[in-house]
Chain A
């Protein structure tokens, strides 16, 4: 199975995870400072900064784009509860 390597920069932990895994599933287990509210892409609590490997995450859905916009998210921000890793190297941190 294809794997991605995702680094949580705030805690210096890198996890090798199967493609398709959502960032939330990994970050909660390793205790990254990315925090969660509704966990279903609505509230915008889990906005994270993608510092590397933007294209190694599945593209945001129309709904995720809308929530990012409404929360005035910056460039390179994603919702950790929605973003799925695809492969390669990804680096993220809390905003």
Chain B
């Protein structure tokens, strides 16, 4: 094994050489335990930033979290002068990578800022200034540093809307931003020298990238043709110099269903989740199931929320076309197991899935409307108003439930009749 990189000399942070022209100038944050509220890390994280030197100028790629700016500037100064900096690239504008930007712009006022097209309004909100100069770039745009060239790839939503990756053409090195990153802090820096970080890589994907699988696959279409890469240099965690293609392959695997679904292409899946204290919401759920089953090519499934942990349901919902929730109303609210599931769905893409709600109640029945609003908030479409039934459903009410299930299933299959409605008649 080679010697670990020297991160500082006599207490002064030093840049780490990655190639003759590329240096790491990031910072380590070993004491961080919770990142962005939603992520845990047992050994902290790193904020990776880089310097690229060309024959006609220097580029800085990303910065660090604000309170680590001193390390960043010291490392930068160990390999470049501020007046040499021609280019600053921000692969996305999240504060943990842009914290040192205002000061860097002050120290290197001649440098041109390169951000993605989608980052423009965010930059204004970040810098709180009206007048500043920047160049918005898109896939295929280049900036020349003389004998080194940076090419940009627009990779939106990985994991911010404005994310881009920057490619150093001559060295086959990809500065990937948060893509292929993880919250793992290890001063040995390189993937072939640090401790086993695979768990962290997987965890990061599961919480940060999974909601955007579709965008991951689109980004991979841009990145895979670059293989074999010499290095992938992400914005957090180990620098991937040993077999970087493995991490690209792993992203492809994680963004593709593990076991092929048995649902055929022409079929749609409808999941009905319910929870019931006296069996009334359950009876409604069963009637909705019957009604939906009568529509061909809809694979309907009925699940009692009491019968499982949340995680398998999240996986199920990710692959489903439609989701119905049955909840009683207790003390003026939908019940906790329903909210627990609904608050666990931020890790998957729900956009435009079909949603619907039903439930029995004793006094007031607000739960159904509350869950409907939540489904809309989660970007599901809710085409049919929910059903609320007071206490025990009558045979007529059970028939209404069957009809609700039938209509939902028809909607999934695109079989609902064209409808003309007056706005005044909409609830």
User: B37: CB under 8 A from chain A?
Assistant: no
Q: How far is the CA of A65 from the CA of B231 in the complex (A)?
A: 40
A72 touches B117 (CB 8 A): yes
User: For window 1-30 of chain A, which residues contact chain B by CB distance below 8 Å?
Assistant: 11-18, 21, 26, 28-30
B416 touches A12 (CB 8 A): yes
User: For window 35-84 of chain A, which residues contact chain B by CB distance below 8 Å?
Assistant: 35-37, 42-45, 66-67, 70-72
Q: Which of B79-87, B308-316, B378-386 contacts A (4 or more CB under 8 A)?
A: B378-386
Closest to A21 in B: B423
Knowing A15-B426, A29-B427, A36-B379, the reply to whether A70 touches B419 (Cβ < 8 A) is no
User: For window 90-138 of chain B, which residues contact chain A by CB distance below 8 Å?
Assistant: 117-118, 120-121, 138
Knowing A12-B417, A94-B352, the reply to whether A17 touches B118 (Cβ < 8 A) is no
Knowing A30-B383, A35-B379, A36-B379, the reply to whether A16 touches B423 (Cβ < 8 A) is yes
User: B38: CB under 8 A from chain A?
Assistant: no
Closest to A67 in B: B121
Interface size on B, residues (CB 8 A): 27
Q: How far is the CA of A5 from the CA of B120 in the complex (A)?
A: 36
B118 touches A70 (CB 8 A): yes
User: B29: CB under 8 A from chain A?
Assistant: no
B416 touches A11 (CB 8 A): yes
Which of chain B's residues have a CB closer than 8 A to the CB of A35? Answer: 351-352, 379, 381
B382 touches A31 (CB 8 A): yes
A71 touches B426 (CB 8 A): no
In the A-B complex, the 10 residue pairs with the smallest Cβ-Cβ separation, listed nearest first, are A31-B383, A35-B379, A33-B352, A17-B423, A29-B426, A31-B381, A12-B418, A14-B420, A31-B382, A33-B381
Q: Which residues of A contact B (CB under 8 A)?
A: 11-18, 21, 26, 28-33, 35-37, 42-45, 66-67, 70-72, 94
30 contacting pairs across A/B (C-beta < 8 A): A11-B381, A11-B383, A11-B411, A12-B416, A12-B419, A13-B419, A14-B418, A14-B421, A15-B420, A15-B426, A16-B420, A16-B422, A16-B423, A17-B423, A21-B423, A26-B426, A28-B382, A30-B383, A30-B421, A31-B381, A31-B383, A32-B381, A32-B383, A35-B352, A35-B381, A37-B379, A44-B161, A70-B118, A72-B117, A72-B138
